[in-house]
C-alpha cells in the first residue's frame, strides 16, 4: 500500500483528530540530501559567519566544531558532507514515502547583499549549502498537486546570515508557490484534517523569523506554537530512549504541536568522526526509534505527535506511525465488506432502477448488527425496482440468535433514478458518533445530481424511543466511482456481525475498488470495533511452535521452505553468514475448535536481499507469509510466498488481519524472532550482509463469524 496519500487512506479514522494529536512522521535536516564533497561551506557554523536566528536552546555548535576541524585540517570536505547529510531522499521522495513534517534550515549564501535578497539567494544549510529555496518549495508544490488531500507541516526553525530582506523574499516565495494552500495561524492548534479538507489549505509553515511572521499577515505560524527539544546529551540508545520518554512529561508541549527528536548527535567532534557519518549512526538509531514509536510510546499520554529521524528509509518508520494512528485514533476500527457473489446480486437491466432515500431503522429494544442493500421486490414491496436500505436487527441480548430484516418503506417520491451511466456512489465512510449506537441506515442523496450517499440513523446510548440524529457522508467528488452504463449489480447479500459487536460506521464500496474478479457490484461495508468485541478477535494460542525443517536449511542453497498443511509461519531463526543455517518457526492454528488453512498462494521476489526492500503481505493483497527461499550471498535473490486464510468447515467465517507491527532489529547472523501469541508473520526486511539488521512485520488475526465478510 502506498504511503503517498496515507492521510486520505486513513480519513475515516483520523479525519476528526486534531493534527497535534496524530503521530506524524518527520525528518531531521530534511533538505540535506544533496550534500557532498563539492558542496560549499554554509554560514551556519557559528556567530562569525553572520547574523543567526535559531530556535530556543539549539545553537548549531556541533556544526561549528565540524567546520572548525576542517579549518584546522583535521577532516576533509567529504567527511564534513558525511557528517552533515541527514537524509538521502529528496524532499519530494520523502513526502511520497509518507513523511509529513519537514525540518528546514535556511541561510542566505555568503557574499549576497543582505539588503536585497532574492528567493534564489536562499539555500538549505547544515555545515554545507544544500538545494535552493525555489527547489525545495517546488518539490513540496509538486507533491501537494499530486496528492490533494495530504497536509504537510514545514518547520523553518533555523535561519542563518539572515535579514529583513531575506524574510520578505521567503514570504513572497511561499505566496507564489502555495497561495491559498497556506493554512493561516488562526486555524488554531486544534485544527483537523476534516476542517482543512473543507478548504484549499494544505500547508502549515512554522517560522522562527519575526520579520517573516510580520510580513505574512497571519499565514505563517510562530515558533511558540511548536515545541522541539534536541536531546543533545544522548550518546547511546538507552540515553536517547530515556530522553524521548521524558518529553511526555515536558510541560512546554501542553496544547502545542510537539516534536520528539529520534536522533543522536554525539557531543564532540571526536565522537562524530569515529562514527564516520550520520547515516552510520542512523542505521542503529532509526530502526530502534521505529520500534519505540509502536511498542513504547503509542499508549502514553499526551498523545505522541511529530517524531523525526535521520535517513527515514532505514526502517518502516512511516508504517509504524500509521499503525499507531490506526490503533489510537480509530480505536481498532476494522472495515468489513461482502464477498462478491452474483448469485445473490440483482442486475440493473434498464433505466427504471431507483435508489430509495427512505431510512430503515431498528425497533425499540433492538440492536443493529447487520446491513443490506436490497431491491424492494425482494421484500414484496411496491413500487418495484427500487434499491432500498435494510438494517438487520436482533434484540439487545447478544445471546439471541434470531436476526430480523427491517427494510425501508418504499414510495415514488423519495428516490434517485439511475440515469444510465450517471449514477454515482459516494464511498466516503460515515462513523457513528461517540456515545451513540447505530439504529438505522439510509441511502441519502446530495445536491450533486445522480449521486447516492450513505447516511446513518443513530441514537444516544442513554436515550430510548425514536432516534432523531442522522449522520451523513461528507461530499467529496474525488471518491465517487461511477457505475458503468447498465452493466452493474446490487449485491443483496446481508452483511452481519456477531451479536453484541457494535457497528461503528457504514459506507458504499464497489467490487472494482476491492479488486474482486466479479466487477461492477455495489457492496455494503460496515465498520466494527474489534479491540474488545466478544467473538470477533481470535485469542488462539498455537498448540505447538516448531522450528522447521528439523535440520534447517543452508541459507545460500536456494532451497525453498513452504509451510505444510495447516501450519502458519510465526517466526524465523538464522545463524552465521550465507553458509549458515535457517529455520522457520511454524505453528498449527485453530479458532473456536476449527482449523485454519491457507489458500490463494502467490509469490514475490526481491532481486537483492541486501538492498533493504520491505516485503509485506499487503503488497500482494494477501494476509500471511507461508514460504521463503534465498540463493547465494547477501546480494542474491529472495522469494517469498504469501497466502489468504480460511476456517475449515465454516464457510461464513472470515479471518482478517489487524494493524501490523514491526519487530526490533536483529543482526541477521544471530536473529531469532517469534511472533507473540495471536500474531502471524506478514513481512520481512533485511539490509546489508550477515551483520546487517533484519526486521519482521507481524499482525494479529481477527475472526468475523456469523456472516459472510472479508477484511477491508
Average pLDDT taken over every residue of the chain: 75
Residue bearing the bigger pLDDT, 317 or 538? 317
Strand order in the sheet with 581-588: 546-554, 581-588, 567-575, 672-674
Q: Which residue has the higher pLDDT, 172 or 695?
A: 172
**369 against 185, higher pLDDT:** 185
**CA-derived radius of gyration, the chain:** 28
Quote the pTM value: 0.55
DSSP 175-192: HHHHGGGBPPGGG-TT-B
Lowest mean pLDDT segment, chosen from 59-68, 119-128, 157-166: 59-68
Is 209 or 445 the better-scoring residue by pLDDT?
209
Query: What DSSP string runs through 71-86?
Result: HTTSS-HHHHHHHH--
**Highest mean pLDDT pick, 136-140, 420-424, 438-442:** 136-140
Model confidence at 154, pLDDT cuts 50, 70, 90, reads: very high
Checking if the pLDDT of 325 tops 80, the result is yes
- Position with higher pLDDT, 104 vs 378: 104
Backbone angles phi, psi at 333, to 5 degrees: -75, 140
Residue 641 vs residue 337, higher pLDDT: 641
Average pLDDT over residues 591-601: 78
Least confident of 70-79, 402-411, 481-490, 635-644: 481-490
d(CA 483, CA 475): 17
Q: Quick one: cell of 264?
A: 543522536
DSSP label of 401: -
- pLDDT tens for 80-105 read 888 899 999 999 999 999 999 999 99
Helix (H) or strand (E) run with residue 394 in it: strand 386-395
User: Closest Cα to residue 172, out of 125, 220, 104, 204?
Assistant: 220
Residue 319 vs residue 511, higher pLDDT: 319
- Measure the CA–CA gap between 336 and 339, rounded to whole angstroms: 10
Over range 636-663, report the average pLDDT: 78
pLDDT at 164 over 50: yes
SS3 of residue 16 by DSSP: coil
pLDDT, residue 493, reads 60
Helix then strand then coil, % of the chain, to nearest 5: 25, 35, 40
pLDDT category at 501 given cuts 50, 70, 90 is low
**223, burial (CB in 10 Å: exposed 0-12, middle 13-18, buried 19+):** buried
The mean pLDDT of 694-704, rounded to a whole number, is: 76
- If DSSP codes are grouped into helix, strand and coil, which group holds residue 9? helix
Specify the pLDDT at position 67: 55
Q: How confident is the model at residue 332 (pLDDT cuts 50, 70, 90)?
A: very low
CA pair distance 15, 322, nearest whole angstrom: 13
pLDDT for the residue numbered 309: 97
Look at residue 118 in the predicted model and tell me its pLDDT: 97
In the predicted model, is pLDDT for residue 541 greater than 60? no
How open is the CA angle 379-384-390, to the nearest 5 degrees?
40
**Looking at residue 51, what is its pLDDT?**
42
Calculate what percentage of the chain has a pLDDT beyond 70: 61
Q: Which residue has the higher pLDDT, 526 or 169?
A: 169
Q: How confident is the model at residue 415 (pLDDT cuts 50, 70, 90)?
A: very low
Instruction: At 274, list the grid cell.
Output: 569515529
Q: What is the pLDDT of residues 20-51, one digit of tens each?
A: 999 999 999 999 999 999 998 888 754 333 34
Question: How far apart are the C-alpha atoms of 566 and 47, rounded to whole Å?
Answer: 68
Q: Name the more confident of 584 and 546.
A: 584
Nearest of 460, 452, 458 to residue 503 by alpha carbon: 458
Using the predicted structure, report yes or no on whether residue 334 has a pLDDT greater than 60: no
pLDDT value for 473: 42
pLDDT at 523: 65
DSSP symbols for 319-353: HHHHHHHHHHHSSSEEEEEEPP-GGGEEE--STT-
Least-confidence region, from 76-85, 561-570, 581-590, 652-661: 652-661
Tell me the pairing of strands 306-309 and 24-27: parallel
Classify strands 561-562 and 503-510 as parallel, antiparallel or unpaired: unpaired
Question: How does residue 160 score in pLDDT terms, banded at 50, 70 and 90?
Answer: very high
Cell 445473490 identifies what position?
344
pLDDT of residue 254: 84
**pLDDT given at position 443:** 62
pLDDT, position 333: 46
Instruction: Compute the distance between CA of residue 105 and CA of residue 328 in angstroms, rounded to an integer.
Output: 32
More confident residue, 123 or 238: 123
pLDDT value at residue 42: 86
What average pLDDT does range 147-166 have in this prediction?
Answer: 96
Q: Could you tell me the sign of the dihedral formed by the alpha carbons of 675, 677, 681, 682, in that order?
A: negative
The answer to whether the Cα torsion of 701, 707, 708, 712 is positive or negative is negative
Does residue 54 have a pLDDT over 80?
no
Tell me what pLDDT residue 268 has.
38
Q: Which of these ranges, 313-317, 332-336, 338-342, 623-627, has the smallest mean pLDDT? A: 338-342
- Determine phi and psi for 633, rounding to 5 degrees: -85, -160
Judge whether residue 512 has pLDDT over 70: no
Instruction: Give the residue with greater pLDDT, 377 vs 498.
Output: 377
Q: Which residue has the higher pLDDT, 547 or 486?
A: 547
Q: What is the mean pLDDT of residues 152-159?
A: 96
- 287-296, 497-506, 517-526: lowest mean pLDDT where? 497-506
- Containing 686, the helix (H) or strand (E) segment is strand 679-686
What's residue 9's pLDDT?
Answer: 84
pLDDT higher than 50, residue 249: yes
Over 50: is that where the pLDDT of 413 sits?
A: no
User: Per-residue pLDDT averaged across 194-203, rounded?
Assistant: 92
Burial track 530-555 (b if 16+ CB lie within 10 A, e otherwise): beebebbbbebebeebebbeeebbeb
Q: What is the mean pLDDT of residues 252-280?
A: 74
pLDDT of 167 > 70? The answer is: yes
Distance CA 27, CA 308 (A): 5
Tell me the mean pLDDT in the region 59-79: 59
Amino acid at each position: 500500500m502506498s504511503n503517498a496519500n496515507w492521510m486520505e487512506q486513513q480519513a475515516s479514522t483520523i479525519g476528526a483528530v486534531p493534527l497535534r494529536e496524530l503521530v506524524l512522521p518527520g525528518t531531521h535536516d530534511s533538505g540535506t540530501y544533496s550534500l557532498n564533497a563539492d558542496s560549499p561551506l554554509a554560514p551556519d557554523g557559528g556567530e562569525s559567519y553572520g547574523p543567526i536566528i535559531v530556535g530556543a536552546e539549539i545553537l548549531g555548535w556541533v556544526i561549528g566544531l565540524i567546520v572548525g576541524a576542517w579549518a584546522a585540517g583535521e577532516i576533509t570536505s567529504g567527511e564534513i558532507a558525511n557528517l552533515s547529510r541527514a537524509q538521502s531522499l529528496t524532499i519530494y521522495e520523502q513526502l511520497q514515502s509518507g513523511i509529513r513534517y519537514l525540518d528546514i534550515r535556511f541561510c542566505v549564501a555568503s557574499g549576497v547583499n543582505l539588503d536585497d535578497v532574492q528567493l534564489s539567494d536562499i539555500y538549505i544549510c547544515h555545515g554545507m549549502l544544500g538545494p535552493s529555496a525555489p527547489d525545495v518549495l517546488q518539490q513540496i508544490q509538486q507533491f501537494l498537486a499530486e496528492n490533494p488531500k495530504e497536509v504537510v507541516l514545514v518547520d523553518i526553525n533555523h535561519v542563518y546570515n539572515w535579514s529583513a530582506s531575506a524574510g520578505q523574499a521567503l514570504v513572497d516565495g511561499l505566496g507564489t508557490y502555495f497561495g491559498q494552500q497556506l493554512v493561516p495561524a488562526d486555524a488554531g492548534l486544534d485544527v483537523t484534517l476534516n476542517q482543512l479538507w473543507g478548504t484549499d489549505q494544505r500547508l502549515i509553515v512554522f517560522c522562527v523569523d519575526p520579520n517573516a511572521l510580520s510580513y505574512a499577515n497571519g499565514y505563517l505560524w510562530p515558533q511558540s506554537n511548536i515545541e522541539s527539544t534536541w536531546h543533545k546529551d544522548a550518546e547511546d540508545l538507552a540515553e536517547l530512549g530515556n530522553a524521548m520518554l521524558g518529553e511526555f512529561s515536558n510541560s512546554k508541549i501542553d496544547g502545542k504541536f510537539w516534536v520528539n527528536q529520534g536522533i543522536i548527535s554525539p557531543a564532540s567532534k571526536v565522537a562524530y568522526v569515529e562514527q564516520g557519518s550520520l547515516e552510520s549512526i542512523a542505521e542503529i538509531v532509526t530502526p530502534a526509534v521505529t520500534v519505540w514509536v509502536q511498542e513504547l510510546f503509542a499508549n502514553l499520554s499526551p498523545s505522541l505527535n511529530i517524531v523525526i529521524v535521520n535517513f527515514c528509509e532505514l526502517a518502516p518508520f512511516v508504517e509504524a506511525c500509521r499503525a499507531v494512528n490506526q490503533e489510537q485514533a480509530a480505536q481498532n476500527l476494522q472495515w468489513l465488506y461482502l464477498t462478491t457473489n452474483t448469485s445473490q446480486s440483482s442486475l440493473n437491466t434498464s433505466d427504471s432502477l431507483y435508489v430509495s432515500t427512505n431510512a430503515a431503522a431498528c425497533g425499540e429494544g433492538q440492536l443493529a448488527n447487520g446491513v443490506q442493500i436490497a431491491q424492494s421486490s425482494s421484500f414484496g414491496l411496491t413500487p418495484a425496482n427500487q434499491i432500498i436500505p435494510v438494517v438487520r436487527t436482533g434484540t439487545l441480548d447478544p445471546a439471541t440468535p434470531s436476526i430480523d430484516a427491517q427494510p425501508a418503506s418504499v414510495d415514488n417520491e423519495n428516490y434517485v433514478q439511475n440515469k444510465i451511466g450517471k449514477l454515482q456512489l459516494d464511498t466516503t465512510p460515515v462513523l457513528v458518533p461517540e456515545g451513540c449506537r447505530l439504529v438505522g441506515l439510509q441511502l441519502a442523496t446530495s445536491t450533486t445530481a445522480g449521486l447516492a450517499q450513505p447516511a446513518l440513523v443513530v441514537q444516544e446510548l442513554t436515550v430510548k424511543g425514536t432516534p432523531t440524529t442522522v449522520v451523513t457522508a461528507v461530499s467529496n467528488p474525488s471518491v465517487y466511482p461511477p457505475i458503468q452504463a447498465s452493466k452493474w449489480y446490487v449485491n443483496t447479500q446481508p452483511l452481519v456481525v456477531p451479536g453484541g459487536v457494535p457497528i461503528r460506521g457504514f459506507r458504499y464500496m464497489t467490487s472494482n475498488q476491492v479488486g474482486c474478479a466479479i466487477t461492477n457490484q455495489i457492496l455494503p461495508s460496515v465498520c466494527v470495533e474489534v479491540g474488545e468485541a466478544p467473538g470477533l478477535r481470535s485469542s488462539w494460542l498455537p498448540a505447538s511452535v516448531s522450528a522447521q525443517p528439523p535440520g534447517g536449511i543452508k541459507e545460500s542453497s536456494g532451497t525453498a521452505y513452504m509451510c505444510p498443511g495447516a501450519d502458519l509461519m510465526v517466526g524465523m531463526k538464522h545463524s552465521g553468514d550465507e553458509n549458515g543455517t535457517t529455520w522457520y518457526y511454524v505453528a498449527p492454528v485453530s479458532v473456536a475448535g476449527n482449523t485454519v488453512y491457507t489458500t490463494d498462494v502467490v509469490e514475490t521476489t526481491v532481486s537483492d536481499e541486501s538492498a533493504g526492500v520491505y516485503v509485506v503481505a499487503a503488497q500482494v493483497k494477501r494476509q500471511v507469509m507461508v514460504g521463503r527461499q534465498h540463493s547465494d550471498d547477501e546480494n542474491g535473490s529472495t522469494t517469498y510466498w504469501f497466502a489468504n486464510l480460511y476456517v475449515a468447515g465454516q464457510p461464513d467465517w472470515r479471518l482478517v488481519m489487524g494493524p501490523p507491527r514491526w519487530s526490533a532489529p536483529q543482526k541477521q547472523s544471530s536473529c531469532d524472532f517469534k511472533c507473540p501469541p495471536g500474531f502471524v508473520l506478514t513481512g520481512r526486511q533485511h539490509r546489508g550482509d550477515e551483520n546487517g539488521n533484519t526486521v519482521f512485520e507481524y499482525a494479529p488475526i481477527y475472526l468475523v463469524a456469523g456472516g459472510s465478510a472479508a477484511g477491508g
